[in-house]
Chains A and B, each alone.
Chain A
Amino acid sequence: MAYSEKVVDHYNNPRNVGSFPKDMPGVGTGLVGAPECGDVMKLQIKVNLETGVIEDAKFKTFGCGSAIASSSLATEWLKGKTVDEAGKIKNTDIVNELKLPPVKIHCSVLAEDAIKAALADYKEKTAAAAPAAR
């Protein structure tokens, strides 16, 4: 298996590895994939509740180098985006940036799913926390 330089770089120097407490205000958590499938990604965003901008993002991934690189890249892209902008990140953007071969496209799909799951969790939590604001 030949890896692109960018995949190798993210594997060797993964960005934003770590975790936020799940119940921290403004934090949304996505956990996608399955151990039997060989890929699990946990992706978290930390949103500024006043501006709606993602201030920080973290990930942990069980999977191959391309899965690690896809989630590491996703956290880089998420920082500084609004929640709405973040929802527009597509798996194909990740494929192009990391030059993933066809056999590794599922890694980018999983990263997009992880972003969507984290955003959905954030929205659900904030809606539940402030029902009067609606």
Chain B
Amino acid sequence: MPGESARLRKLRDRLQDAILGSVEDAYLNGHPERRLPHNLNISFAYVEGESVLMGVNKETALSSGSACTSSTLEPSYVIAALGASTELAHSSIRFSLHRFNTEEEVEFVARRAIEVVKRLRDMSPLYELAKEGVDLKSIQWKAE
């Protein structure tokens, strides 16, 4: 088991570094060290979690939010409790690695996630506003 934990941790760190190293405004949810070795949870600002999953899940099994809330549309209360804003909780993705995952798979998933987030940001009104220098909190949102 200690060997397996170390192996997973290395793979997870690789995934984390690949994603956080190339996507701006992406944030790690939870503690950087004190977490399960196979678990990674990242919020991608300006894109909604479920839409990211739809792009990446053709080949992989990711989840939005935490495992506790995957059947509802509510943002994860777990991620919110870890300190993320409601907006960023809507943008969180959980990556869970398993015993048979390989380095190639980790690199593949990182590439896919980076691609999908870029594509979705190109069609995100929030990303456009942020790039124009608008403070999203200054807008009077017309909710349903």
Binding site for B on A (CB under 8 A): 1, 3, 8, 11, 14, 17, 19, 31-42, 59-65, 67-68, 103, 106, 109-110, 113, 117
Residues of A within 8 A of B127 (CB): 62
Q: Which residues of B contact A37 (CB under 8 A)?
A: 143-144
Q: Which residues of chain B come closer than 8 Å to A60, judged between CB atoms?
A: 123-125, 128
20 more A-B residue pairs beyond the given contacts A35-B90, A36-B86, A64-B48, with a C-beta to C-beta distance below 8 A: A19-B128, A31-B125, A32-B142, A32-B144, A34-B143, A35-B87, A38-B73, A38-B75, A40-B125, A41-B125, A42-B128, A60-B124, A60-B128, A61-B124, A62-B124, A64-B54, A65-B54, A68-B123, A109-B144, A113-B144
Nearest-neighbour CB distance to chain B for A49, whole angstroms, equals: 25
List residues of B whose CB falls within 8 A of some A CB: 46-48, 50-51, 54-55, 73, 75, 86-87, 90, 122-128, 136, 139, 141-144
Residue of A nearest to B86 (CB): A36
- Nearest residue, chain B, Cβ from A71: B123
Residues of B within 8 A of A35 (CB): 86-87, 90, 126, 136, 141
What CA separation (Å) do A64 and B54 show in the bound complex?
Answer: 8
CA distance A12 to B80 in the complex (A): 30
Report chain B residues within 8 Å CB of A8. 54
In the bound assembly, the distance between CA atoms of A31 and B141 in angstroms comes to 8
Known contacts A17-B123, A60-B124, A61-B124; is A31 also within 8 Å of B142 by CB?
Answer: yes
